[in-house]
Structures are given as C-alpha cells and as structure tokens.
Structure 1
Amino acid sequence: MEDSPVVAAFDLDGTLTEGGSVFHWLRFVAGDSTVARAALPLMGPLIVGAIRSGHWADSAKERLFRAVLAGRDVDEVTAASREFILHHLSEEGRPQVLARLNWHREQGHDVVLVSASPQIYVDILVAEFKITGGLGTRLAVDTRGKLTGSYLGKNCRGTEKMRRLNEWISSRHYDIDPVIFAYGNSRGDRRLLAGATHPFDAGKMGRWGALRAYPRLSEEIHPRRED
C-alpha cells in the first residue's frame, strides 16, 4: 500500500519566531516616523482589531498598510524585506520549532508556511528554509510596479489559512490525500489546526493559550516523564 504524502504547515509569527513581525517590518521599510504618523489616526481601529480579531483586525491591518505602503516600489520593498526578515529570523527565531521544521524537511515532507504576514517576505523565507511553499497575505501592485497597500484577496488568517492550504494541496495533485501536520500559536490558527491530522500548539502560553485544546509541541519534543 502506498504511503500517504505528508504536508507540514507552520504559522510564522509566535510559532517559528517570537512575537509578531509585521509592525517591525513596516518600521524597517518605511521608517519609524512614517509608521507613527500613519498609525496615530488609526489607533482606535487597531486597538479594536487587536481585541476583537476577525474582520476588525483584517480591516485595521489593511488600512495601516494603505497608509504606509501605497506608492512604494515593490522591488525596493522586497529588497528591504529580505534584509529585515533574515535579521528578524536570526534574532527572534525559536530553535525548537525551527528544528521541527527542519526535521519535516529532512523526512522529505512538503513543508509550507501559512501566515498572515506579507507574501513578500514569506516567499523569502521559503527560499531560505528550502521548503516547498509559502502562503501569506498577498498585496496588490499597480501597473507601475507600486504597492497600493490593499490586500490581493484576503488577509491570510483564520478560515482563510485553511482555505489557502486546501487550495495549495489541490494544486499539488497528490494521488492520495496527504497527512497534515499543523503548528500554530494563536486564535488565528484555530481553523488551520482543526483541519489537520496532527495539530500542535506551538505557543508558549500552555493551558492559558488560545490553542490549549490541542497537543503541545513542547511535550512532543520533551515528553513528560511518567511518575
């Protein structure tokens, strides 16, 4: 009997790295003063988005992107993004979770990043990790090669993560449905983990975390000793 293919899906922020990357990325690409000026009038929506999540968070994030990124050359932003994300990874990468990603890669599994972070630097990490694919939040580019700041499609979080992953799996034309491992840390990863064969909470909050109903990756790596 033919073995099932294996897909290993990893969230980025808070899973492979400590904390978030998007706000730091905007500051690196556009400068602190530009981001501060853009964020100040959006402070209310940003706070509501952080608390309520869902479409509130998606909308607030897109409004900030428009304010900061609109009119910027996509090639220049991509070059700056490479410098940013590789430094961010070296400073904020979580060794145990990165080791898990490398283990999957060494087993010949199809490893894919599934992140709400911009596709611009998700693609850079795909090449850096030498993995199969990456699914991030795609940003619209106009005919002059300038970012508009708007999403191309939806913010890649929540339900959209699993939809994009299923779409990606379908494009691979596997002969047999794959076994899916999924690793996340926040409520934005719930749908991704719910659709996986082997879901893992890779967060650091334990029983206080948003994914506490799922097996903890830390216990998979370091199983508890039986008394």
Structure 2
Amino acid sequence: MTQLPTVAAFDVDGTITTRDCVVPFMRRIAGTHRIVPRLGVRPDRLVPVIARRDRDRLKALAAAAAFRGRRYDDLCAAGAAFAEMVHERWLRTDTLEVLQRHLADGDRTVLVSASFEVYLRPLAALLGVDDVLATRLDVRDGVVTGALDGPNCRGPEKVVRLHEWLGDRSGVRLVAYGDSAGDREMLADADVAHWVTRDGKVA
C-alpha cells in the first residue's frame, strides 16, 4: 500500500513560539499609548465586543487601531525585523526539533495561525517552511485600511483555509500541532494530532 505524502501544519503562538506574538507586534508598530486611546474612541463598539468575549472582533478593532493608514511596505519591513527577533529569541526548541524532522523527511510544512501574515511569511522563510495561512490585512493603493482581509485565522477558519490550500484533502496525511482552543478544529480534522503543552512536551 502506497503511503500518502505527509503535510505538517503548525500553529505558531505558543506552539512554535514561547509566547504570543500579536500584541508585541502591534505595540512595536503603534505603541500602547496610541492603541488604547484609539480603541476607546468608539466605546459603543468596544464595550459589547468585550462583554461578548468576541476575540475575532476585538482583534479586528485592535488591528485597525494599530495599523490603519500605514504604508504596507513599511509594515512589511517592520514584520521582517520582528520575524528575525522571534526567530532568535522566542522559538520553542522542542517544537522546532519536530519541525526540523518533518523538513528532513521531505514533508510539506505550513504555518496556520491567527498571527499576522506580514511577519509570519518572513518567519516561515527563516524556518524553511513551505507556506503560511494566517490573518491578513486589507491593503488599498499600498496603504493598510485597518480592516482584515478575510476572517481572523483561528478556530474553524483554520480548517477552511487549510482545505483550500491542500486542494484534495484525501490525498495527504495531515499531521497538526497546536496548543490552544483556537487549534481544536484543526487538530480534530488532522489524521494525526499533537497537543503541544506548556511544560515543553509535544503530546
């Protein structure tokens, strides 16, 4: 029986990295002193989002506060510098070893994350990963509008994006790695699922 080719899908924040990357990147771009006042300008939007614990909508509001009106080229340059810092300081050695084994075996690899694509693409290049499925920013005429380009890439959206990227899902053996509630759907969809624990274990 011919074995199906393996695709290894990795969440990023807390799975490949030791910490969240979204908030530090937004702070690096805009600073907390700018993001918080901008979020507070429209309490009629912010308060219901917090009350509902709507993480996707809160992410969209925070992205608008941090990135709206910025040149996309400048943001890409900042994303590349941020990716280098993450690569140097914030990678988990245990998951990195697992990723490197997949690469050595010739498996296709992909990052599937709610983090922003603008810094995950250069991080993927540093890691040798084939592709990135992540949260995108809407850009018009070279300027970030402040909106997201499509849904936040977490929960069910990870499965949607992954299936679109794979094409024929039945033609591969999908191995997935995640560490949070936002990864559960992707892990449930995988042929082999690994829960990456906080104490340095890939279970």
TM-score under structure 2 length normalisation: 0.90
Among residues 165, 178, 183, which one is paired with 1:168 in the alignment?
A: 165
Q: Unaligned 5+ residue runs, structure 1?
A: 207-215, 220-227
Q: Residue 34 of structure 2 aligns with which residue?
A: 34
Q: Percent identity?
A: 35
Q: Residue 154 of structure 2 aligns with which residue?
A: 157
Q: Residue 90 of structure 2 aligns with which residue?
A: 92
State the Cα distance separating 1:20 from its structure 2 match. 0.9
Q: Deviations over 1:50-97 (max 9, x none)?
A: xx4xxx111111011112211100000110111112212322211000
Q: Distance in 1 between matches of 2:47 and 2:197?
A: 27
Q: Distance in 1 between matches of 2:156 and 2:3?
A: 29
Q: Residue 11 of structure 2 aligns with which residue?
A: 11
SS at match of 1:90: helix
Query: In 1, are the aligned partners of 2:64 and 2:147 still within 8 Å (CA)?
Result: yes
State the Cα distance separating 1:205 from its structure 2 match. 6.7
Q: 1:14 to 1:82 in 2, by over 3 A?
A: same
Query: In 1, are the aligned partners of 2:174 and 2:190 still within 8 Å (CA)?
Result: yes
Give 4+ residue runs of structure 1 displaced > 6 Å after superposition.
none
Among residues 138, 141, 155, which one is paired with 1:140 in the alignment?
A: 138
1:196 aligns with 2:194: no
Instruction: Kindly provide the amino acid, as one letter, of the partner of residue 64 in structure 1.
Output: A
How many residue pairs align between the two structures? 200
Q: Deviations over 1:138-194 (max 9, x none)?
A: 110012x00012111110000000110111100xx68x6111110000000000000
Instruction: Kindly provide the amino acid, as one letter, of the partner of residue 190 in structure 1.
Output: R
Q: Distance in 2 between matches of 1:48 and 1:204?
A: 28
Q: Residue 210 of structure 1 aligns with which residue?
A: none
Match runs of 1:16-27 below 5 Å: 16-27=16-27
Q: Distance in 2 between matches of 1:94 and 1:149?
A: 31
Q: Residue 106 of structure 1 aligns with which residue?
A: 104
State the Cα distance separating 1:40 from its structure 2 match. 4.6
Q: Which has the higher contact order (CA 8 A, sep 6+)?
A: 2
Q: 1:65 to 1:162 in 2, by over 3 A?
A: same
Aligned-residue Cα RMSD (Å) equals 2.1
Q: Deviations over 1:103-156 (max 9, x none)?
A: 10110000100000111112112211112111001110012x000121111100
Q: Distance in 2 between matches of 1:203 and 1:82?
A: 28
